[in-house]
Amino acid sequence: MTQKNNYNPVVIRSTTTGYNLEQDLHSLKIQLAPRSFSEVGVTTAPVVRYSYIESFRMHILSYAPLAIMALLIVFVGFKGLPADGSDELAMLDAWSTDESSALTEMSFDEELSASDLELDFMDQDINN
């Protein structure tokens, strides 16, 4: 995949020092190798370290559509319940209102006779 250059460097050899600029430049490749590579001594794949922001973007945001869907389902589900349930609750409320009003409309004598009837019924039950 990598294309090496075929440039044959002109040997720039100093008459006084004998150092070659191109060779020295090329040697910087080893001199300035990434830490992990030079320490291990072999060419290995670098460990990709992600920052917290990158991790958030890669992992959390990838689940964002699913989270939105779940929220929508929950929202629609909850919103649907009171529409049906409210009628039942209203009916229950109306019924209890009727009952309570019916009770309050009973006179004292009616209540007394009702309790006597109940006591009689209980006595009969005990005797039996």
Partner 1 sequence: MTKEELDLLYREQFGALYRFVLFKVRHVQTAEDIAQTVFVRALEALPKYKRTEAPASAWLFTIARNLCIDHYKKHSSITPGDETGFFSEIADARASATQSAADRERKQALAVAVSELSESEQEFVTLYHIEEKSYQEVSAIMGKSEEALRAVNHRAKKSLKTKLKKYYDDTKE
For residues 22 and 9, is the Cβ–Cβ distance under 8 A? yes
Report the Cα 105 to chain-centroid distance in Å.
Answer: 57
Stretch touching partner 1 by CB under 8 A, among 28-36, 84-92, 108-116, 118-126: 28-36
Of 8, 29, 101, 104, the one binding partner 1 by CB under 8 A = 29
DSSP code at position 87? H
| Binding of partner 1 by 56 (CB under 8 A) | no
User: Computed over its alpha carbons, how large is the radius of gyration of the chain?
Assistant: 45
* Using rule CB under 8 A, residue 50 touches partner 1: yes
DSSP H or E segment with residue 43: none
With beta carbons less than 8 A apart as the criterion, state whether 24 and 32 touch: no
Least spacing, CB of residue 63 vs partner 1, in Å: 16
* CA nearest neighbour of 34 among 26, 51, 46: 46
49 near partner 1, rule: CB under 8 A = yes
- Binding segment (CB under 8 A) for partner 1, from list 42-50, 66-74, 84-92, 97-105: 42-50
Residues in contact with partner 1 by the rule CB under 8 A:
1-7, 10, 12-17, 19, 21-22, 24-35, 37-38, 43, 45-46, 48-51, 54, 58
